[in-house]
Amino acid sequence: MDLKNQIELELYFADHFDTILFPVLADIYFRQEDYRRARKVCNIGLGYHENDPEGRFLLAKVEKAEGNLKESERELEHSLKYAPDNIYAAIMLCEIKTVLGRSPSRLLTCWKKVASLNPFNQTAKEFIAKMEANKSQQKTKPIKVKPTKSTKNKNIKSNDESLNVSVRLATFTLVNVLKNQALFYQALEVLDLLEKKGEDPDMIRLERDSIKNLIKSSEKEDKKK
């Protein structure tokens, strides 16, 4: 069977729901941005192979693409339990934990895992060095709250916290994930980083306008309440 042939895989999967090859078909759907089918194949396959690390990783990517970060975090942790050497899953988990605002100690553990798999990962090196420097000074600095116009808005109150994401993690995908989570001001921060990286200025401008409109709509809804 040609594993690159979608039709062959679909026909085989239809007759063999218990096949260990289900992540291959799920990945094809994922790359086509057909998240519904990718999720369905993963759920069926994981029903037979609950701890398949590739299946869990694919499902984590689907959850992330659809903005379900907590579910993605859970799937990544499950995947890494059975495939601890998956550097891509480890980095993705760090990125998601950062967006979710997990504690510095949990982030440190996460980035140390990345560093153990790839000692040359610059983001991991920088984060670990910063944390160790803070420990050496015996100071625990709280997360700085960045004042914004949304401080009275209960629906997007989490936007008051600065994301402090590394330039290396700044992507348009991350911007979309933040928008889906209603973390509008953090999304604007990532756009600033993308601008510094020299990314597409037209795309950045469109995203900024879109986010500003979302903020206005959210504030209007809050006033009605």
Residues 31-81 pLDDT 10s: 999 999 999 999 999 999 999 999 999 999 999 999 899 999 999 999 999
Query: HSE of 171 in the Cβ direction (CA atoms, 13 Å)?
Result: 10
Give the DSSP per-residue string, 114-158: HHHH-TT-HHHHHHHHHHHHHHHTT--PPPPB---GGGG-GGGGG
Tell me the C-alpha distance between 171 and 96, whole Å. 13
DSSP of 178-209:
HHHTT-HHHHHHHHHHHHHHT--HHHHHHHHH
CA distance 193 to 204: 10
pLDDT (0 to 100) of residue 218: 80
When pLDDT is averaged across residues 3-22 and rounded to a whole number, the result is 89
User: Average pLDDT for residues 112-129, to the nearest whole number?
Assistant: 91
Bridge partners, 145 (sequence order) = 161
* Residue 18's pLDDT band (cuts 50, 70, 90): very high
Cα dihedral: 49, 50, 52, 57 (round 10): 130
Q: What is the pLDDT of residue 159?
A: 47
Q: Token pair of 105, please?
A: 């100690």
Query: What's the whole-number mean pLDDT along residues 86-103?
Result: 91
Residue 163: count of CB within 10 angstroms of its CB: 22
Q: How many CA atoms lie within 13 A of 14 on its CB side?
A: 6
Question: pLDDT tens, 157-216?
Answer: 344 455 566 666 677 777 777 777 778 888 888 888 888 888 888 788 878 888 888 888
| Position with higher pLDDT, 115 vs 168 | 115
- Taking the C-alpha atoms of residue 58 and residue 44, their distance in angstroms, rounded to an integer, is 13
- Mean pLDDT for 12-21 is 92
Q: Which of 66-75, 97-106, 144-153 has the highest mean pLDDT?
A: 66-75
Over residues 19-36, the pLDDT tens digits come to 999 999 999 999 999 999
With contact defined as beta carbons under 8 Å apart, do 191 and 204 qualify?
yes
pLDDT of residue 157: 39
Residue 52's H or E segment, with its range, is none
Which pLDDT does position 166 carry in this prediction?
63
Tell me the pLDDT tens digit for each residue of 121-144.
988 998 899 888 877 765 544 444
User: Looking at residue 147, what is its pLDDT?
Assistant: 43
